[in-house]
Structure 1
Amino acid sequence: MALILVLGDQLSPGLAALRLADRATDRVVMAEVAAETDYVPHHPKKIALIFAAMRKFAARLQDQGWTVDYTRLDDPGNAGSIPGELLRRAEATGATRVLATRPGEWRLVRALEELPLRVEILEDDRFIASHADFDAWAEGRKELRMEWFYREMRRRTGLLMQGDKPVGGKWNFDHDNRKPAQADLFMPRPVEIAPDAVTAEVLDLVEARFPKNFGRLRPFALATTPEEAERVFAGFLRHALPRFGDFQDAMLAGEKYLYHSLISSSLNIGLLDPLEVCRRAEAEHTAGRAPLNAVEGFIRQILGWREYVRGIYFREGPDYPRRNALNHRRGLPPLYWGAPTRMACLGAAVAQTRDEAYAHHIQRLMLTGNFALLAGVDPAEVHEWYLSVYADAFEWVEAPNTVGMSQFADGGLLGSKPYVSSGNYINRMSDYCGGCAYRVQDRSGPDACPFNLLYWQFLDRHRDRFAANPRMGNIYRTWDRMDETHRATVLAEAGAFLDRLSKGDPV
């Protein structure tokens, strides 16, 4: 007899460990444990999402004839950790063997490997590219650029391909996907899922056990079953996908979702299949219901980025989340935990994160991420914040996006240059600046947008690293052409701003 471990982000009926198990003799082990809720202070919505989805998945397995040893968070015998629960169940049943599907975080892989039981860890083949696939692609390459990996994945899957050529004659339609949006009465609204009795019980538990965690638990409208996730995805395909491409980088005050799909948490806990999701988006283009730039942009996020960052995370090893190539040491500012700020864009992004455990990729990259990078915040603290506050955050997907793409802490493994910008980009892609206490058009002075000051200060302090970068030469030439007195003023005002930030003063 074997114990079959199913984790909270492995809620797929075709999971490798379940496929290899014997339903008649083996026992499934699932557990809500403090070690998984507390290793970072997770958003209450994230905890509730996973627990509710776990309970429903366990019930389905039982209906299908599986024996499921399920431990709730408040059960008296709860061992408090995944290894502890496996040892407890092994002692109770006499099992000496564990079948597990490879966890998505190195800390859990190591914990399973250190168990005094015979543990077989199977490949998580719910992904489109295996670890061997990614390593074979990466072997011998000087640069591991996502674009080249994405093209290989398109060829392998046939998605948006005509023979060996991309549909439309181009691999990438990003140039068409950078339009600012305007609020209108016809903007689609995502499908919201009303909590059922199981979810309501979990909400009460989370509310009682995690009252001090950052984030609002209610209202709760996340999908916790495959059927609910399908309703959300179908609504996106029908109402939002056609305009997703045009406005995927846009930001609007008061519009949390715009044309985004809101399926990342469902994908990441196993309620939706990534390849099936891509094929259904492709079918919308084939049927003439969605333009190519929208469908290609959507597929690239899943087939490209999602698969790519997983490959990077496991290829680079357990130390990857602690890399700090720019030697940034500043503590995470209180504004990330909801402290008042005069910056309208950051205030909106953090408030939305607090309320929904969600922000789209540009809000994460070019608002909260951009500011942390410009301010020199320790990337480990930034990484732990993102891992804490978003419902879709698991380390395999979050760490490369944060440490690599957002914070350049891996020294350029993911990106050829840092993703930094002044306030001009934010003003172009959003309407935040119009209602801000700072003035985005001011390059210096008491009301100058902090992004303007910090942008040039960042470039100046890291000149030795970036001046020779061919993608950044023109930026440095612009800085050098500025009046010397103005440059000195900008650096002095940026320094004063950072001093206030370090002291915890409101900014």
Structure 2
Amino acid sequence: MKHTITQTPLPHRTLRLILGDQLNPQHRWFREVDEATTYVLMEVRQETDYVLHHAQKILAIFAAMRDLAQQLREAGHHMHYIAINDPDNLQSLTANIDALIGQYQATVFEYQAPDEWRLDQQLYQHGRRANIPWIMVDSEHFYTTRNEVSDLFTGRKQWLMEFFYRQMRVTHHVLMEDTKKPLGGQWNYDHDNRKPWRGDPPEPRDTRTLHDHSDLWQTIVDAGVKSFGNPQARQLAWSLNRQEALRHLDAFIDNALPQFGDFQDAMSVKSWRLFHSLLSFALNVKMLNPREVVAKAEAAYRAGHASLAATEGFIRQILGWREYVRGVYWANMPGYAEKNFFGHNHQLPGWFWNGETRMNCLSHAITQSLEHAHAHHIQRLMVIGNFALLAGLNPAEVHRWYLGIYIDAFEWAELPNTVGMSQFADGGLLATKPYVSSAAYIDRMSDYCKGCRYDKKLRVGENACPFNALYWDFFQRNTDALAKNPRIGMAYRQLEKMDAATIAEFQKQAKIMLENIDKL
């Protein structure tokens, strides 16, 4: 069914653009109703098509955009909504803006600062040619400005997140005993947050609201938009407005935060959610403000509801890592997506798109991602990303896959996590070492190895786990680039103890596996 908000054009003078990841009803724009202002939201092929996206990502963003548009209309604001199938939709942000400026005879155009470099440049360059004032305002979301992280690290060879995180804790007085001392006497409890999960305590019930958006999904399909993954169109569970997101936040604080710390790195075939918040979509489209999420987590600790280790681990992801990767992104664009420190150029195997691999860990992590548009950070980093780096997959292709498959993947957050943290393609600007492992780590943090076609203990042979030979082959072939890295000295000390025959054996095994990667 065609979904269009229509109205008789009024003599409005200001046109304001709201992007699909700027769904914050508390922005100062909306505090007062202005008869001379029209707000515009638009569903365009420009945004659905720049990479192949997961179906749930497209569906959830469009549904949330429509929800916000309805809220703003009910509050009295003038809205112009361009649906994906509107006959007047030119399928481009700037083309539609130009048409609307003419339609409303706008004398001023305003937009909130985009978080992706490509959109920032598109709107900025178009504005330079505009014949009316073209004004960018703050999105009022992040703790930091775009350039704050780069300013902090000026002159430093490596940008350590821990240094930035401590500065943020002090500046915003989060989990602090006084102006300089952290609660508990230490800044980081990461070492306390690495327990495997064996089924106890039980995973909390999923309390998210289910939405039937099958009509909208059919509209998207009929419009010719391509996607992959399960749309879950009749049971879409992601928060689609601020009210739902706040309830979701409260449910996480009440039911999952106390166990989050212990099991935040755990993986299991028995659960895809475990104790993770699943709030990243609501945060990244700005339904939630990071300050309120951090404040509620800290309040839970101070009330004795959650441990300091669990609370600090959760807050570090938002106050520390989230703000940090955004700063890395803006400091290194354009061109960051083309970084390729190791010169990796292998294509993604076909099972990245269907999960049909005999490696149980990858099959589960990828199938889960296709089903739910979500995987937690260890699945992304130490299963999927780990394999991609060991196998020498092209980091630009890996980046596009991550950007498309995950519901929370917007380039400012995803690109540094993939190119920098996961693939070490920036040569160590972001990460202090390549995050790779053999089967041992995956077995320690999960139950994936049980019942797998491959033997976690074997390096070579038909039944050997591919992670083992690929792990040692990775370090052997990158000796010149990595041997002097102090954080991975142990790997090279072990290599030095291996004789030439052993090394040749795992190199041969790795070569066979890579030549038959689609059959693994």
Deviation at 1:317, TM superposition (A): 1.4
Query: SS state of the match for residue 69, structure 1?
Result: strand
Aligned 8 A contact 1:5 1:17 in 2: no
Match of 1:124 among 124, 129, 139: 139
- Aligned equivalents of 2:476 and 2:29: distance in 1? 52
Superimposed CA distance per residue, residues 46-85 of structure 1 (whole angstroms, 9 cap, x where no aligned partner)? 0111011101111111122211111000111001011111
- Aligned equivalents of 2:255 and 2:80: distance in 1? 41
1:160 matched residue in structure 2:
175
Deviation at 1:107, TM superposition (A): 1.0
Superimposed CA distance per residue, residues 118-157 of structure 1 (whole angstroms, 9 cap, x where no aligned partner)? 4222233310111243233122323211111000000011
Match of 1:63 among 71, 74, 79: 74
Query: SS state of the match for residue 79, structure 2?
Result: strand
Deviation at 1:221, TM superposition (A): 1.1
Match of 2:458 among 442, 449, 452: 442
2:323 matched residue in structure 1:
307
Deviation at 1:190, TM superposition (A): 2.4
The residue correspondences of 1:272-283 to structure 2 (distance < 5 A) are: 272-283=288-299
- Aligned equivalents of 1:316 and 1:430: distance in 2? 35
1:330 matched residue in structure 2:
346
Q: 1:57 to 1:128 in 2, by over 3 A?
A: same
2:198 matched residue in structure 1:
182
Match of 2:495 among 475, 479, 483: 479
Q: 1:60 to 1:3 in 2, by over 3 A?
A: same
Q: Which amino acid in structure 2 is aligned with residue 288 of structure 1?
A: G
Q: Provide the TM-score with structure 2 as the length reference.
A: 0.93
Q: Which amino acid in structure 2 is aligned with residue 104 of structure 1?
A: D
1:7 matched residue in structure 2:
19
Match of 2:228 among 209, 214, 222: 214
Match of 2:449 among 413, 427, 433: 433
Q: Which amino acid in structure 1 is aligned with residue 155 of structure 2?
A: G
Unaligned runs of 5+ in 1: none
Match of 2:514 among 489, 498, 506: 498
Aligned 8 A contact 1:44 1:207 in 2: no
- Aligned equivalents of 1:95 and 1:141: distance in 2? 46
Superimposed CA distance per residue, residues 1-51 of structure 1 (whole angstroms, 9 cap, x where no aligned partner)? 2211100100112336657x9722121111000110111111110011101
Aligned 8 A contact 1:3 1:98 in 2: yes
- Aligned equivalents of 2:223 and 2:54: distance in 1? 12
1:202 matched residue in structure 2:
216
Match of 1:230 among 242, 246, 249: 246
Q: Which amino acid in structure 1 is aligned with residue 299 of structure 2?
A: A
The residue correspondences of 1:320-469 to structure 2 (distance < 5 A) are: 320-338=336-354, 340-469=356-485
Greater shift in the superposed pair: 176-185 or 472-481: 176-185
Aligned structure 1 segments of 4 or more residues deviating by more than 4 angstroms: 16-19, 207-212
Aligned 8 A contact 2:355 2:364 in 1: no
- The reply on whether 1:93 has 2:68 as its aligned counterpart is no
Superimposed CA distance per residue, residues 420-466 of structure 1 (whole angstroms, 9 cap, x where no aligned partner)? 11111000000000121000011211111100011011111111010
Superimposed CA distance per residue, residues 226-253 of structure 1 (whole angstroms, 9 cap, x where no aligned partner)? 1111121111111110010000000001
Aligned 8 A contact 1:339 1:506 in 2: no
Q: Which amino acid in structure 1 is aligned with residue 38 of structure 2?
A: R
How many residue pairs were aligned?
A: 501
- The reply on whether 1:246 has 2:262 as its aligned counterpart is yes
Match of 2:150 among 123, 135, 152: 135
Query: SS state of the match for residue 323, structure 2?
Result: helix
- Aligned equivalents of 1:329 and 1:350: distance in 2? 21
Q: Provide the TM-score with structure 1 as the length reference.
A: 0.96
Q: Which amino acid in structure 1 is aligned with residue 23 of structure 2?
A: L
Deviation at 1:185, TM superposition (A): 7.2
Deviation at 1:335, TM superposition (A): 1.2
- Aligned equivalents of 1:65 and 1:132: distance in 2? 36
- Aligned equivalents of 2:255 and 2:33: distance in 1? 43
Aligned 8 A contact 2:355 2:362 in 1: no
- The reply on whether 1:78 has 2:89 as its aligned counterpart is yes
- Aligned equivalents of 1:415 and 1:239: distance in 2? 32
- Aligned equivalents of 1:378 and 1:292: distance in 2? 40
Query: SS state of the match for residue 16, structure 2?
Result: strand
1:291 matched residue in structure 2:
307
Greater shift in the superposed pair: 132-141 or 46-55: 132-141
Q: Which amino acid in structure 1 is aligned with residue 284 of structure 2?
A: N
1:40 matched residue in structure 2:
51
- Aligned equivalents of 2:292 and 2:258: distance in 1? 18
- Aligned equivalents of 2:363 and 2:157: distance in 1? 40
- Aligned equivalents of 2:38 and 2:209: distance in 1? 31
Q: Which amino acid in structure 2 is aligned with residue 498 of structure 1?
A: L
Query: SS state of the match for residue 165, structure 1?
Result: coil
Q: 1:339 to 1:266 in 2, by over 3 A?
A: closer
Q: 1:443 to 1:315 in 2, by over 3 A?
A: same
Aligned 8 A contact 1:4 1:17 in 2: no
- Aligned equivalents of 2:148 and 2:516: distance in 1? 48
